[in-house]
Amino acid sequence: MKRITLLLAIFVALMIFVACGGNNDNAPNNDTSNDTTTNGTVDNDVTTGGTITAPESHHINMAVLPGPSAIGSLLLMDAAVVDNDAVINTYNIQVLGSPEEVGPMLAQGLIDIAAVPTNMASVLYNNLPDGVTVLALSTMGVLHILDTTGEISSMEDLRGRTIHLSGMGAAPELALNYVLTMNNLEPNVDVYLEFHGEQPQIAALLSQGVAEIALLPEPFATTVLMQNEHVSHALDLTEEWGRVQPDYGLVMTAIVVRNAFLAENPQAIENFLNDFAHSISFVQNNVDGAAALAVEFGIIPNENIANQAIPRTNQVFITGADMERYIMGYLTVLHGQLPQSVGGSLPSENFFYRP
């Protein structure tokens, strides 16, 4: 027990380091803890011995963070309202206030599955006593460079400029550094980075004209663009990443399961992948419905912002070999700059779910 307590204390300290600078995945919302339970019904049939039977439903406790990482789970938060016939399992989904909460809850068995920043998935794998397995990728890049000068239309246009952002040493800075370097721009030599504590502070600096250029994630980027006509969208960091690294994308959110739950409940995980695929499809094809749920569950503050922001959160459902290639490419980039950002070392192949 003393060993587990010590490990949890060390882990929480590491999480604070990884998530430093203001939780880049968090939405501008005051309500940071919501519990939602859904009761899905079954319409997926499997055939065994000539008899058609429905897969058994399981209950899963899941955690998400406010912002893009939560968007992909919206259907599971309220399947009965939207499309309950698509969902097999039942879910209790908690919207946590910060990434530091996830690790201890997984370690204690309080949650089974979590949507987390992709590099945090590697930190969990390297530091939790029983480890985690990645099931899927759910969010690609959500980072945007906003501009008040009207002079930024390429990465080269950033030469000699200052970019305001949050999270020194966190994944957004490391992704930006990579894209800058691949465009022959040395961070803090050719392009200066100025850090602030929280995303709302950066948004305020843009609105006040104090900051000319900033890196912001969704939905903050959309919020600023909708509220200030003097701010324009300059560059999509996901697109810029793709220009310099076409082999693997900028992958921001991964779905992980604690290994003990995976070992004991393999059918629950197969059901979850079915359910989560339906949820992602719902978000991709029903933005209005997704926006309403995002507001209802406190993910995004209002539907106007949600309608504009959700398509820009790049919700995906990627599993298998593509998931492995994308994640390892991305983690290798981060590890090359700051090994602590992925938990000290790159994960091995048993990091990935292979049914």
Distance separating alpha carbons of residues 186 and 176, to the nearest angstrom:
11
Question: Given 218, 244, 270, which residue is the final one in a domain?
Answer: 244
Same domain, 16 and 81: yes
Q: Which residues pair with 93 in a beta bridge?
A: 36, 62
- Give residue 334's pLDDT: 97
With contact defined as beta carbons under 8 Å apart, do 339 and 180 qualify?
no
Q: Tell me the mean pLDDT in the region 21-29.
A: 41
Q: Given this model, what pLDDT does residue 4 score?
A: 44
DSSP 3-state of 59: strand
**29-87 pLDDT tens trace:** 434 344 444 433 333 333 344 555 678 899 999 999 989 999 999 999 986 544 567 78
Q: Which of 245, 258, 257 is nearest to 331 (CA)?
A: 245
Same domain, yes or no: 267 and 161:
no
The residues, any chain, with a CB within 8 Å of residue 206's CB and separated by 6 or more, are 146, 148, 164, 214, 224, 228, 231
pLDDT confidence tier of residue 279, bands split at 50, 70 and 90: very high
CATH of the domain at 345: 3.40.190.10
Residue 189, C-beta contacts closer than 8 angstroms, at least 6 positions apart: none
Predicted confidence (pLDDT) per residue in 118-152, tens digit? 999 999 999 998 999 999 999 999 999 999 999 99
Residues 191 and 163: beta-carbon distance below 8 Å: yes
Decide: residue 6, CB within 10 A, 0-12 exposed, 13-18 middle, 19+ buried: exposed
pLDDT of 335 > 60? The answer is yes
- CB-CB contact of 54 with 103 (8 Å): no
User: Which pLDDT belongs to residue 43?
Assistant: 36
Residues 177, 129 share a domain? no
CA distances from 80 to 42, 83, 183 (A): 12, 6, 48
| Per-residue pLDDT reduced to its tens digit, 282-330 | 999 999 999 999 999 999 999 999 999 999 999 999 999 999 999 999 9
Q: Give kind and range of the element (H or E) at residue 105.
A: helix 102-107
pLDDT of 91 reads 94
Residues spanned by the domain of 314? 2-141+250-351
Q: Which of 313, 298, 282 is nearest to 137 (CA)?
A: 313
- Residues 105 and 84 grouped into a single domain: yes
Q: How many CB atoms within 10 Å of residue 275?
A: 24
Number of domains within the chain: 2
User: Both 61 and 191 in a single domain?
Assistant: no
| Residue 152 and residue 94 in one domain | no
**pLDDT confidence of residue 52:** 54
State whether 6 and 113 are in the same domain: yes
Q: What integer pLDDT is reported at residue 55 of this predicted model?
A: 83
Mean pLDDT of 160-164: 98
> How many Cβ atoms from other residues are within 10 Å of residue 203's Cβ?
24
pTM: predicted TM-score of the whole model, two decimal places: 0.85
Site of tokens 């899963």: 60
Structure tokens at 11: 């882990």
Between 2-18 and 118-127, two packed helices, what is the crossing angle to 10 degrees? 160
- The residue ranking higher by pLDDT, 57 or 14, is 57
Q: How far is CA 117 from the centre of its chain?
A: 4
Do residues 144 and 233 touch, judged by C-beta distance below 8 A?
A: yes
Distances from the Cα of 78 to the Cαs of 100, 282, 303, 329, 346, in angstroms?
26, 12, 17, 34, 36
> Mean pLDDT across the stretch 180-204?
94
Q: How many CA atoms lie within 13 A of 20 on its CB side?
A: 13
pLDDT, position 129:
87
Last residue of a domain, one of 244, 265, 294: 244
What is the pLDDT, as a whole number, of residue 3?
Answer: 44
- Tell which of 209, 229, 244 closes a domain: 244
Residues 11 and 116 in one domain: yes
Average pLDDT (228-248) is 95
Return the biggest CA–CA distance within the chain.
70
**pLDDT 10s digits, 165-176:** 999 999 999 999
**% residues pLDDT > 90 (the chain):** 75
The reply to whether 53 and 200 lie within a common domain is no
Whether residues 163 and 228 fall in one domain: yes
List strands edge to edge, sheet with 192-196.
Answer: 192-196, 162-166, 213-217, 143-147, 232-236
**Of the listed ranges 72-86, 91-105, 189-203, 317-331, the one predicted with least confidence:** 72-86
Between CA 326 and CA 306 the distance in angstroms is 27
Contact 122, 331 (CB under 8 A): yes
128 with 182, same domain? no
Residue 190 shares a structural domain with residue 304 = no
